[in-house]
Chain A
Amino acid sequence: MSPHLQIYRYRLSMVLSITNRLTGVAATGGAALGVFWLAAAAKGPKAFATARKVTGNPVGQLVLVGWLASVVYHTVGGIRHLIWDSGKRYDKEELNKDGPVAVGVTAGVSTVLAAGLLGVAARRARALAKAGKAS
């Protein structure tokens, strides 16, 4: 038997590592939803109206924000992996220094993008509804 997880002292890097995997899975789920959205647009106005109901309601938007945050996290984590693959920033001190930076960048970028996208979408949807019966 190899030593199990609880024998190790808590480190931020181990949480960041497993979260990179989890966000990869979540991002795949989001990509599946994205494909369904595209397929709805291809199918026709009725199917797309249903998709719009999903993307327009609060629960749907929470899922979209979750997808966005997962993609941002996984991207930041992925860039770190590419840097490590080139043999850089892989010492203990560097890892411990970069971890919190990665968390901060993820939180900042996710918040700005989510607020921007939801704002733009809401404004456009409202304008369309005002201009006439939006499909």
Chain B
Amino acid sequence: MTDSAPHIEVMRSQLGRARGLGAGGSGTAHWWAERVTAASLLPLSTWFIVQMFRLGGADHKDVVKWGGKPVNATMLTALIITTFYHAQLGLQVIVDDYVHGKAHLPTRILVKLVTSLLGLLGVFAVIKLVAAGNRRS
């Protein structure tokens, strides 16, 4: 035995430890993102429910006027992006747990695509409402 042989106590490379990455090549980013989006959704969804009390049953004119206001448009966009980001993270865990074999990767990609597209649709709807509000005034 030579003295130069390193004594290994942890079955993990020094670089891997420094980066905080596991065998999957990723660290705690997913877990953290899920928590941070969850906490952000608490005030955002509360805001949305309050707005629905002000808007429930309203006609087209009132909804367009509401969506065109800068603060509402900002909150809506934040809510939409955070919601579908959180949904993407959560659905991904469900897919990882229950979908195995060949179907796993396509299902994961499908979840990403659908949640992203829904989020984009929401964002562009808000942009159009803002534009419509500008035309009016």
Contacts and interface: CB of A to CB of B under 8 A. Distances in A.
Interface in A56-112: 56, 71, 75, 78-79, 81-82, 85
B115 A28 contact: yes
SS class, residues of chain B in contact with chain A: helix
B53 A25 contact: no
Interface stretch (B7-15, B83-91, B101-109): B83-91
Interface residues of A, number: 41
A82 B121 contact: no
A4 to B, nearest CB: 15
B38 A82 contact: yes
B78 to A, nearest CB: 14
Contact of A113 (B35, B49, B83): B49
B25 interface: no
A52 B61 CA distance: 13
Interface residues on B, range: 35 or more
B43 to A, nearest CB: 11
A56 B45 CA distance: 22
Contacts of A116: 53
Interface string B69-82: 00000001000100
Contacts of B57: 56, 120-126, 128
Contact of A41 (B38, B67, B121): B67
Nearest to B114: A32
A31 B83 contact: yes
A79 to B, nearest CB: 8
Interface of B: 35, 38-39, 41-42, 45, 49, 52-53, 56-61, 63-64, 67, 76, 80, 83-84, 87, 90-91, 94, 115, 118-119, 121-122, 124-126, 128-129, 132
Interface of A: 21, 24-25, 27-28, 31-32, 34-36, 38-39, 41-42, 44-45, 48-49, 52, 56, 71, 75, 78-79, 81-82, 85, 113, 116-118, 120-126, 128, 134-135
